[in-house]
Chain A
């Protein structure tokens, strides 16, 4: 059974801080790892990673995958209150379905 573990489960920081969210996984025949951001509604897509060591970047957010050690990190620099959300990690395996972690609740205080 595929498994995704995110840490920490919750995190409180101040505006301007840098945060690192972790995602480790066990999956049969890994295909891709995805990050989503969920505010009080539908999860919105951030990144999809398939290759080890290649950083994906979008503004203040970046993510990297380590396929040897079976984990990914999501970095957010210069955090803003609008970054407050649940961040979800999901992994796609041999049967193409996505298995999600429980998420990390990030709270950014002004």
Chain B
């Protein structure tokens, strides 16, 4: 079975802190994605990556950056966290351009 692991399930940070959210997948998938999920807004795509060292902006990239140095790992970075970035963050991977996404358990971030 595909496993997508997000290392931090719950985080509490202060405004202005730098935040790293890590995601690792174990199925050699080329594609990895970061979404945030908010009540009433659904899942919105922040960034995605089709290959190592490659990244593409999604629908709401402002305030975020990403890093993909290895195929299995995709990190989401909040350079200076703000309260409006309080959310559930979901990482996903897929094996082909047309395949289904496999999601991690999510990282619930609270910014005070």
Chain A residues engaging chain B, CB cutoff 8 angstroms? 31-32, 34, 41-45, 48, 88, 90, 92, 96-103
Contacts and interface: CB of A to CB of B under 8 A. Distances in A.
Contacts of B98: 31-32, 92, 96
A102 B58 contact: no
Given A32-B98, A48-B100, A97-B48, A42 B43 contact: no
A87 to B, nearest CB: 12
Contact of A96 (B44, B97, B100, B106): B97
Nearest to B97: A96
A43 B103 contact: yes
B41 interface: yes
Interface in B12-39: 33, 35
A32 B4 CA distance: 23
Contact of A98 (B4, B101, B104, B106): B101
Contacts of A31: 98
Nearest to B2: A45
B105 A88 contact: no
A43 B4 CA distance: 12
A34 B104 contact: no
Given A31-B98, A42-B90, A100 B42 contact: yes
**Across the A-B interface, the 10 shortest Cβ-Cβ residue pairs:** A102-B42, A42-B103, A100-B43, A96-B97, A45-B100, A43-B103, A42-B105, A100-B42, A41-B105, A48-B100
Given A32-B98, A42-B103, A45-B101, A102 B45 contact: no
Q: Pick from A43, A48, A88 the residue with the most CB of B within 10 Å.
A: A43
22 contacts: A32-B98, A34-B100, A41-B106, A42-B90, A42-B103, A42-B104, A42-B106, A43-B43, A43-B101, A43-B103, A45-B101, A88-B43, A90-B43, A96-B97, A98-B33, A98-B101, A99-B45, A100-B35, A100-B44, A101-B42, A102-B41, A102-B42
B102 interface: yes
Q: Pick from A31, A41, A44, A88 the residue with the most CB of B within 10 Å.
A: A41
